[in-house]
Amino acid sequence: MPLFVLFCVDKPGSLDLRMATRDAHLAYMRDKAGMLKLGGPMLDDEGQMAGSMLIVEAPDRAAALALNAHDPYTLAGLWERVDVKAFKATLGQL
């Protein structure tokens, strides 16, 4: 099954929103563990969470977009932008 990278950038000044929604986001992602291969927060220069990067396995790009569309972070309006790209792992292990 294809892999996709979701590169999600938080809106400026939205750390409080991220933290308020984090438990719901983590619960949602735990429920999607079959799709999620790797994920975690991106950090700004001060070490604060400022986005998320996910590698997911999905039948197609539409399924990867649907995963993001139902994420509590997305529903809360956290993201400034989300880039979704097909990904081919050639080094390391997932």
| Superfamily classification of domain 3-87 | Dimeric alpha+beta barrel (3.30.70.1060)
Per-residue confidence band for 91, with pLDDT thresholds at 50, 70 and 90: confident
Distance in angstroms (rounded) separating the CA atoms of residues 34 and 32: 5
Where does 1-94 have alpha helices with state H?
15-31, 61-69, 72-75
Give the pLDDT score at 92: 83
Give the pLDDT score at 94: 65
Domain ranges across the chain: 3-87
Q: Is residue 94 within 8 Å of 8, Cβ to Cβ?
A: no
pLDDT digits (tens, 9 = 90+) for 9-67: 999 999 999 999 999 999 999 999 899 999 999 999 999 999 999 999 999 999 999 99
Per-residue confidence band for 6, with pLDDT thresholds at 50, 70 and 90: very high
Q: How many distinct helices (H) and strands (E) make up the chain?
A: 3, 4
